[in-house]
Structure 1
Amino acid sequence: MNVRSVPTGVAPAGTKQRLGPIVFAVDAAYAVPLATALRSVAENNQSAWPLDIHVIHEGIGEETKRLIFESLPASSAVIQWHPIATLSFASGFSTRPGVSRMTFARILLPQFLPQTCDRALYLDGDILVLTALEQLWNTDLGDAVIGAVPDYWLDSAARNGPGATGGARVKRYFNAGILLIDVAKWRNERISERSLDYLERFPTTEYSDQDALNVACDGKWKILDRAWNFQFEPMQAIAGIALEQKPAIVHFVTNVKPWKTGSLSPNVAFYDTFRSRTRFALTRWGRLQSGLKRAGSRLHARSALLRAAWSYSKAAVRTHASTSVHKAK
């Protein structure tokens, strides 16, 4: 397994920087989506091979690391694995149901990169990259610490009043799943320390580290085109997106994940085109199981709808009968 590092230096002034490092933070439960996301990155960025990949992780064993690495095209990437043995620093912080505590690891991201690293791209594990990342990587951040895309659902609420940020208001609210980071500015602005300070004050803030990062970076981030973090709703299909909205990075932000067995996501087949080229490809039996579970879930949802309609009809009949009797009197 290739886990050696590659030099990450500072590009001369006025020149484009080499793509990378690209950083992920996942636990063992995200082995399949990590391998799939990495495959999508590698296939769409061949001019940048070997890619400089860093994975902050908890609980990913050596055999799983090998399978993830072997899921990539030969010579396409160098992976450095950074174990974070415990998230004890975040033991008092809460997360939303279904969200891994590894979400807090991205707050510490610069600690896992060389001091000579001046820029990094952070990607969540629940994404697919559909184009070359060079344009994103070479975005001029100006004085901003990070580049990010506004959160489709939380941006307005965060600007207009308390709620998404534990009571604090921010100028704009970004989704932290894709972050282009000026690492030097991050360190100088003490973003990690300020984020942790916020979490100490608001340990139950609804969106965990994302709230904290928004407060720490308030007024210090650049808005990127939404194509670089296209946040999919549960029943929104990639194939149905208009050409002018074609996403560069798709982000499956809800709990309806396309890799889950029996998922009702309309993007299951699209996602599987990448997964099928990894060492975690579904077997014929796995596809059958998933298909049967998906059919069962649809039938259950349809039955629930029928039950609700039937209950509504019975209530309407009772109301009508009651009204008729009242009029008769």
Structure 2
Amino acid sequence: MNAIHIALTFDDNFWAPAYATMRSVCLFTFRRHDLIFHLCHRTLTDQHREDLAAIADEFPVELRWYDLDQSEMFRDIAKRMPENKRLSNIVYARLMLDRLVGPEVERILYLDCDMLVRDRIEALFDIDMQGNAIAAVRDTIGAFITGGRDLKGNRDLFDPANYYFNAGMVLIDTAKWRDADIIGRMEEAFASGVMARIYYDQDLLNLIFHGKWLKLPWRWNTVDARHAHEGLDPAILHYTGENKPWGVFAGMRQSVAFARLYRHVMTNELFYRFARHRWKRWWRKTLRLGR
């Protein structure tokens, strides 16, 4: 069988969720031998890299590492493009996937690290893309993302009637992605002032692939996964809201779908170690603000 290529992008503050996303893919597929994870990372400590590498002790998967701190292109892009204060400029790394992976990778699945996969990933990876460059799921609040207050913003760029996809899960035809010259288009948007007006890389991808993407069923990217989604058999949970399944406070976790399952997918040992990591970050931030 053909390899299943999956790409993740993350910094050191997201190492544990990245592990959980990988492990969920491994747990819910029979094609574990075919899995190749492309790990695009930055600021990763040796300990956290060891945690991620341990996935290969449990499953027969291949890991390919890409240190973005060593990439002059990424450093330049992250420095110049609008800063995503909530997610950091690691979001721009996915735009470079065609520059990072080898020419033998004809198709690659990008997954955000705030995702839990609970269905066979090959059912998604092997779909007929019908000649499209990418396949994705419509974002439930796409019109608000582009239009903002009263849905009046950026109407010269986006029509609310057009379908808008969430870029947290994107199945990519690598050759067509490369032909789209995404980095070049981003530079044009930056020079014209468009990048300063839009929602980072997700809006940019929607502009580039307008009318050129395959719309997939919602279950392959269940945006803002809540309890109500559990009974609908979602394939991929996407925790886009403020509350996460790894939230420091139990009440935060209880409002999202499959929170208990998520903790055991991450493993209890790593889950609580990640909780301590987040507590330390929260206190450091709070004490700095208090000065």
Is 1:253 matched with 2:240? Answer: yes
Flag the 1:157–1:29 CA change in 2: closer, same or farther, 3 A. Answer: closer
- Rounded Cα–Cα distance in structure 2 between residues aligned with 1:79 and 1:281: 22
Aligned to 1:122: 110
- Conserved? CA contact 1:146–1:222, under 8 Å: yes
Q: TM-score, normalised by structure 2?
A: 0.81
Partner AA of 2:175 in structure 1? A
Q: What is the rounded CA distance, in whole Å, between the counterparts of 2:237 and 2:109 in structure 1?
A: 15
Residue 282 (str. 1) matches residue 272 (str. 2): yes
Q: How does 1:201-240 map to 2 (within 5 A)?
A: 201-232=193-224, 236-237=226-227, 240=228
* Preserved CA contact (<8 Å) 1:42 1:72: no
- 2:17 alignment partner AA: P
What letter is aligned with 2:210?
D
Secondary structure of the corresponding residue to residue 46 of structure 1: coil
1:23 paired with 2:10, answer: no
Contact 2:56 2:62 (C-alpha < 8 Å) held by counterparts: no
Equivalent in 16, 29, 32 of residue 45 of structure 1: 29
5+ residue gaps in structure 1?
Answer: 1-16, 294-329
Conservation of the 8 A alpha-carbon contact between 2:186 and 2:195: no
Q: 1:273, CA displacement in angstroms?
A: 1.9
* CA drift at 1:191: 2.8
- Structure 2 residue 90 is the aligned partner of structure 1 residue 102: yes
Over 3 Å counting, the alpha-carbon distance change for 1:199 and 1:130 in structure 2 is farther
SS of the equivalent of 1:255 reads: coil
Q: Judging changes above 3 Å, is the alpha-carbon distance between structure 1 residues 250 and 73 closer, same or farther for their aligned structure 2 residues?
A: farther
- Deviation of 1:180 (Å): 0.3
Three-state SS of the structure 1 residue aligned to 2:168 is strand
User: In structure 1, what residue type is equivalent to 2:130?
Assistant: G
Deviations 1:221-256 (A, max 9, x none): 1101111000125xx21xx4364x311010001222
Work out the CA distance in 2 between the residues paired with 1:156 and 1:139.
30
Contact 1:229 1:248 in 2 (8 A): yes
Contact (CA 8 Å) 2:4, 2:122: kept in 1 or not? no
What's the counterpart of residue 138 of structure 1?
Answer: 126
C-alpha separation in 1, matches of 2:145 and 2:270: 39
**Cα displacement string for residues 240-287 of structure 1 (whole angstroms, at most 9, x for unaligned residues):** 4364x311010001222221312513243232121126x61426x96x
Q: Distance in 2 between matches of 1:199 and 1:275?
A: 38
Q: Distance in 2 between matches of 1:50 and 1:65?
A: 22
Change (3 A) 1:65 1:54: same
Provide the alpha-carbon RMSD of the alignment.
2.7
Distance 1:195 1:145, change over 3 A: farther
Q: Separation in 2 of the partners of 1:212 and 1:259? A: 29
Shift of 1:80: 0.8
Tell me if 1:62 matches 2:46. yes
Task: Measure, in 2, the Cα distance between the counterparts of 1:54 and 1:156.
Answer: 32
CA distance in 2, matches of 1:149, 1:162: 23
TM-score normalised by the chain length of structure 1 = 0.73
Contact 2:109 2:172 in 1 (8 A): yes
Equivalent residue letter for 2:214: K
Pairing 1:65-76 to 2, within 5 Å after superposition: 65-71=49-55, 74-76=58-60
Distance in 1 (CA, whole Å) between partners of 2:46 and 2:156 is: 43
Q: Give the match's secondary structure for 1:125.
A: coil
Helix, strand or coil for the counterpart of 2:8?
A: strand
State the partner residue of 1:306.
none
Cα deviation for residue 139 of structure 1 reads 1.2
2:3 and 2:34 in contact (8 A); partners too: no
Between the aligned residues of both structures, percent identity stands at 25
SS class of match (2:66): strand
Describe the shift of the 1:50–1:145 C-alpha distance in structure 2 as closer, same or farther (beyond 3 A).
Answer: closer
Distance 1:214 1:136 in 2: 20
Contact 1:205–1:211 at 8 Å: present in 2 too? no
What per-residue deviation string (whole Å, max 9, x for no partner) do you get for residues 59-103 of structure 1? 113321111121455243111110111532232322444122100
Residue 176 of structure 2: which of 185, 190, 203 is its match? 185
Distance 1:162 1:216 in 2: 21
What secondary structure, in the 3-state scheme, does the structure 2 residue paired with 1:60 have?
Answer: coil
Q: 1:206 to 1:157 in 2, by over 3 A?
A: closer
Q: State the one-letter code of the partner of 2:166.
A: N
1:32 and 2:22 correspond: no
**Aligned residue-pair number:** 265
